[in-house]
A and B are shown apart, each in its own frame.
Chain A
Amino acid sequence: MDFTPDSSLAEFRQEVRRFLQDVPADLKGLRRATRSPREEVMRWQKVLNDRGWGAPYWAKEHGGTGWTVPQILVFDDECSAAGTPTQDGFVHKLLGPVLNAFASPEQKAQHMPAIFNGERLWCQGFSEPGSGSDLASLQTRAVRDGDHYVVNGQKIWTSYAHHADWIFLLVRTNPDVKKQAGISFLLVDMKTPGITVRPIRSIDDAHHLNETFFDNVRVPVGNLIGMEGQGWSITKFLLNNEHATAADLPELKRYMRELKQFASTLHVGDRLLLERPEFALKLARLDAELQALEMLVQRVARLEQEHRPESHTLGSMLKIRATEFQQRITEAHVEALGDYGAIAYPHPHEPNPPANYPLQTLANGIANEMFFRRASTIYGGTSEVQRGIIAKMLFQL
């Protein structure tokens, strides 16, 4: 064990800060809520690409930065602190590694330039009504017809389908084999005739989620990734990436900064909220746990970097604890607002916010974020699924 700080990481942080200083002012200090509006995401991608950081999470050989996980965490942390737009996580963290590993040279030539230049946003078509955590039970069919697949079926919880240009899609190409064996991985242009996107309004009063319908959608055979029937193993590859980043640590740190800001800004009677013993104790508990979570992230990152199998169980523990922490700290935000915590402020990404509510600048988006975080223990493998993984892998139960 060695806990002396890595000085190269401090230098790297300075390098990121210097870069962020020169970012256009209208791309900084933004209210971050799960994902920034489409135009901001696209502009930010161009800015990153101009700096040579178009793929911050990928290896050098794929045109990425080749950063280590601790470097990635520093980069995300600094961007979050600066309030830059978010990135298209679907393409950078999920689809990108799949394309790098499985796509043909023609497919890479078709998609990579658009990904780097921020000209094409993606969404993920995995979940179906009734499939839940049993992803392999999916029913959407793709039937070969000449040099096309004809896709019919329905996807649900398709985040940002209404912003996306393309979708990466799991389809059943063979209904007669074991359910995992008959699945294929397709890339589909969202403008293809037969695709309908219907919004699902979520409890955070925002529109990220959708139902996506496929009615005789003709997809060129050349859009198949890997081989027909290989979709399940590609999906497992995709889902096994990024245990360390599932914790959303940079956002957790942002929440803590904001909670501390509330503490030293808001009043209860004639005293600062900070001076209330019950609030100070809650803050102390959250602060301690965040330090522990941050260290757990570093441990998981280290194990992942060395491809050690313990990264899976430890990653599952991190997923459970970090997502529950996201819920608790955002609830603490809302409670800290007192009366104003009960106000339904407009979502910060609504195009025309109504008249100014009291405390709007401080409170805007806080409750939306708190309600949205109820999803974090569901998506990416529910807490219950993670517990099953731990019991099985760690204790052989």
Chain B
Amino acid sequence: MDFDLTSEQQLLQDSVRRYVDKSYSFESRTALLKAGKNGSADNWGSFAANGWLMAGLPEAFGGLGGSVLETSIIAQQLGRALVLEPYLGCAVLAAQTLAACDNTAQKERLLPLLVEGSSRVALAYSEPGSRGMPETVALRAERSAEGFTLYGLKSLVMGADGADAFIVSARIAGTQGISLLLVDANSAGLERQALPLHDGTWVEELNFDGVEVGAEALLADAGKGLAVLQEGLAYGIVVLCSGLIGSMERTLEVTAEYLKVRKQFGVPIGSFQALQHRMADMAAEMEIARSMLHVALSSMVNDTPPVRDKTLSSAKMLICRAAKLVCGQGIQLHGGIGMTEEYLVGHYFKHAMVADLLLGSSDSHEAACAAALQAELRA
């Protein structure tokens, strides 16, 4: 194992870092938040122009063929700035799910458009009863003369605003298992409701009331859909966790700076041992989380899907809990200023809270790990 970046990876990290430092200050982020949903088209264009949307996609479909490591490096830096653009929802979840499916025609048509940023797709897999776990699907698809007709609800679709199409998990009547269908965002019978999240990003709830799609919309047939979805979600979990490492890093930096300048009782509060020890514990929590990210990355490279998914569940719960703790303590050490909307540290905590609930909560993933351990030890 080698924990150091290769020179190419270092260049990639530096270029994303330069971008977020220059174009994604807290002030410009605040301006974007006020202006609307899911960041700016200009930024998305820059992501595409810099190659960040293609880094982890196969070369055959216009990508750079990079491994999950490159995507993770990008996500860590974007997480330092809490970018609002739907990198996770569109560039990772939807794009990687699409890349994992067997429908070559759709991949050849869509992936190059996603890579160049001229089109966006979002992943609609979550339902109110699924709590992020992809197996629970109630959305129904009935076969029609031309293809399929869809009925049901999808909650919390990340990056839906501005998306041209959705990848939708469904149960096709008369089949076992989960299928994936591509649905145009402007389809008749599709009701969309935009909902804001605590961290300033927007999602949509989608209601399918007899939405019709053609036969070519079938991305993954019953029996294959879940495995394809799990590929996309695996990528998504790694990227979400990577972003949180960046968020924790930035919180620690900002907080350490504050402890040096803020004076109370005539001295910088950083001279108080209680606060020094708190900082040390936060740093240790982050490094444990970073180590767990390495475990997840290693599993993405080396393990079979069942082993990988258990490892990712471990990573999701451990890293999300670490982020809530570190970012929450960031507020505590800042005192009242940390509570204000005008100051950045509270926004890292808001994002950590949201991240914990996206893609399955810590509690859900912990239960999944427990079940996997039970199965392993029963055997």
Q: Top 8 closest A-B pairs, CB basis?
A: A391-B276, A288-B314, A280-B370, A387-B280, A3-B298, A284-B369, A390-B280, A317-B284
Contact B301 A277 (CB under 8 A): no
Residues of A within 8 A of B292 (CB): 288, 291-292, 295
Stretch from B2-10, B80-88, B135-143, B199-207 that touches the partner:
B2-10
- Whether, in the assembled complex, A215 has its beta carbon less than 8 Å from a beta carbon of chain B, the answer is no
- Give complex CA distance A277, B373 in Å: 11
B262 to chain A, nearest CB (A): 12
- Total residue contacts A-B, CB cutoff 8 A: 147
Residues of A within 8 A of B289 (CB): 292
Contact A292 B377 (CB under 8 A): no
Stretch from A11-19, A78-86, A135-143, A296-304 that touches the partner:
A296-304
- Give complex CA distance A122, B301 in Å: 45
Contact A391 B301 (CB under 8 A): no
Q: A260-B373, A395-B279 are in contact. List 20 more A-B contacts (CB 8 A).
A: A1-B2, A1-B5, A2-B1, A3-B1, A3-B302, A260-B377, A274-B377, A274-B378, A284-B370, A287-B373, A288-B314, A288-B369, A289-B318, A292-B292, A292-B318, A302-B3, A317-B280, A317-B288, A391-B277, A395-B252
Q: Given A274-B374, A291-B311, A396-B260, A1–B288 Cβ distance below 8 Å?
A: no
A376 to chain B, nearest CB (A): 15
A21 to chain B, nearest CB (A): 26
Residues of A within 8 A of B366 (CB): 281, 284-285
Among candidates B4, B294, B370, residue contacting A295 with C-beta atoms closer than 8 Å? B294
- Give complex CA distance A1, B13 in Å: 12
Closest to A306 in B: B4
Chain A interface residues (CB < 8 Å from chain B): 1-6, 260, 263-264, 272, 274-275, 277, 280-281, 283-285, 287-289, 291-296, 298-299, 302, 313-314, 316-317, 320-321, 384, 386-388, 390-392, 394-397
Residues of A within 8 A of B40 (CB): none
Give 24 pairs: A residue, B residue, CB < 8 Å, sorted on A. A1-B3, A3-B1, A274-B374, A274-B378, A288-B315, A289-B288, A291-B292, A291-B311, A292-B289, A295-B291, A295-B294, A295-B298, A298-B1, A299-B294, A313-B283, A321-B284, A388-B273, A388-B280, A392-B276, A395-B259, A395-B279, A397-B259, A397-B270, A397-B279
Among candidates A1, A294, A317, A392, residue contacting B6 with C-beta atoms closer than 8 Å? A1
Residues of A within 8 A of B3 (CB): 1, 298-299, 302
- Whether, in the assembled complex, B371 has its beta carbon less than 8 Å from a beta carbon of chain A, the answer is yes
Residues of A within 8 A of B291 (CB): 292-293, 295-296, 299
- Give complex CA distance A314, B259 in Å: 21
- Give complex CA distance A299, B4 in Å: 10
Considering only residues 284-315 of chain B, those with a C-beta below 8 Å from chain A are 284, 287-289, 291-292, 294-295, 297-298, 301-302, 311, 314-315
- Whether, in the assembled complex, B187 has its beta carbon less than 8 Å from a beta carbon of chain A, the answer is no
Among candidates B73, B276, B302, B311, residue contacting A4 with C-beta atoms closer than 8 Å? B302
- Give complex CA distance A1, B12 in Å: 13
Chain A interface, >50% SS class: helix
Contact B370 A277 (CB under 8 A): yes
Q: Interface 1/0s, chain B 318-355, versus A by CB < 8 A?
A: 10000000000000000000000000000000000000
Among candidates A3, A293, A395, residue contacting B297 with C-beta atoms closer than 8 Å? A3
Residues of B within 8 A of A264 (CB): 377-378
B269 to chain A, nearest CB (A): 9
Contact A395 B256 (CB under 8 A): yes
Closest to B371 in A: A280
Contact B259 A295 (CB under 8 A): no
Contact A317 B287 (CB under 8 A): yes
Residues of B within 8 A of A281 (CB): 366-367, 370
Contact B287 A314 (CB under 8 A): yes
- Give complex CA distance A285, B271 in Å: 34
Residues of A within 8 A of B260 (CB): 396-397
- Give complex CA distance A5, B366 in Å: 27
Closest to B376 in A: A260
A327 to chain B, nearest CB (A): 15
Contact B370 A283 (CB under 8 A): yes
Closest to B302 in A: A5
Residues of B within 8 A of A4 (CB): 1, 301-302
Q: Given A284-B314, A285-B366, A296–B288 Cβ distance below 8 Å?
A: yes
- Whether, in the assembled complex, B14 has its beta carbon less than 8 Å from a beta carbon of chain A, the answer is no
Q: Given A1-B6, A292-B318, A280–B273 Cβ distance below 8 Å?
A: no
Residues of B within 8 A of A272 (CB): 378
Q: Given A5-B302, A280-B374, A314-B287, A291–B276 Cβ distance below 8 Å?
A: no
Closest to A263 in B: B377
- Whether, in the assembled complex, B164 has its beta carbon less than 8 Å from a beta carbon of chain A, the answer is no
- Whether, in the assembled complex, B317 has its beta carbon less than 8 Å from a beta carbon of chain A, the answer is yes
Q: Given A2-B1, A388-B273, A292–B295 Cβ distance below 8 Å?
A: yes
Among candidates B73, B288, B377, residue contacting A321 with C-beta atoms closer than 8 Å? B288
Contact A384 B277 (CB under 8 A): yes
Contact A391 B369 (CB under 8 A): no
Residues of B within 8 A of A284 (CB): 314, 366-367, 369-370, 373
B300 to chain A, nearest CB (A): 8
A349 to chain B, nearest CB (A): 30
Residues of A within 8 A of B9 (CB): 1
- Whether, in the assembled complex, B91 has its beta carbon less than 8 Å from a beta carbon of chain A, the answer is no
- Give complex CA distance A288, B371 in Å: 13
Among the interface residues A1, A277, A384, which one has the most CB atoms of the partner chain B within 10 A?
A1
Residues of A within 8 A of B279 (CB): 390-391, 394-395, 397
B351 to chain A, nearest CB (A): 21
- Whether, in the assembled complex, B69 has its beta carbon less than 8 Å from a beta carbon of chain A, the answer is yes
B253 to chain A, nearest CB (A): 9
- Give complex CA distance A296, B3 in Å: 11
Q: Interface 1/0s, chain B 240-258, versus A by CB < 8 A?
A: 0000000000001000100
Residues of A within 8 A of B271 (CB): 397
Contact A390 B283 (CB under 8 A): yes
- Give complex CA distance A299, B297 in Å: 14
Closest to B272 in A: A397
A380 to chain B, nearest CB (A): 16
- Give complex CA distance A291, B294 in Å: 10
Residues of B within 8 A of A388 (CB): 273, 276-277, 280
B132 to chain A, nearest CB (A): 17
A292 to chain B, nearest CB (A): 4
Closest to A280 in B: B370
A9 to chain B, nearest CB (A): 9
- Give complex CA distance A396, B292 in Å: 26
Among candidates B69, B287, B295, B367, residue contacting A1 with C-beta atoms closer than 8 Å? B69
Closest to B369 in A: A284
- Whether, in the assembled complex, B59 has its beta carbon less than 8 Å from a beta carbon of chain A, the answer is no
Residues of A within 8 A of B2 (CB): 1-2, 302
- Whether, in the assembled complex, B281 has its beta carbon less than 8 Å from a beta carbon of chain A, the answer is yes
- Give complex CA distance A150, B132 in Å: 72
Residues of A within 8 A of B283 (CB): 313, 317, 390, 394-395
Closest to A299 in B: B3
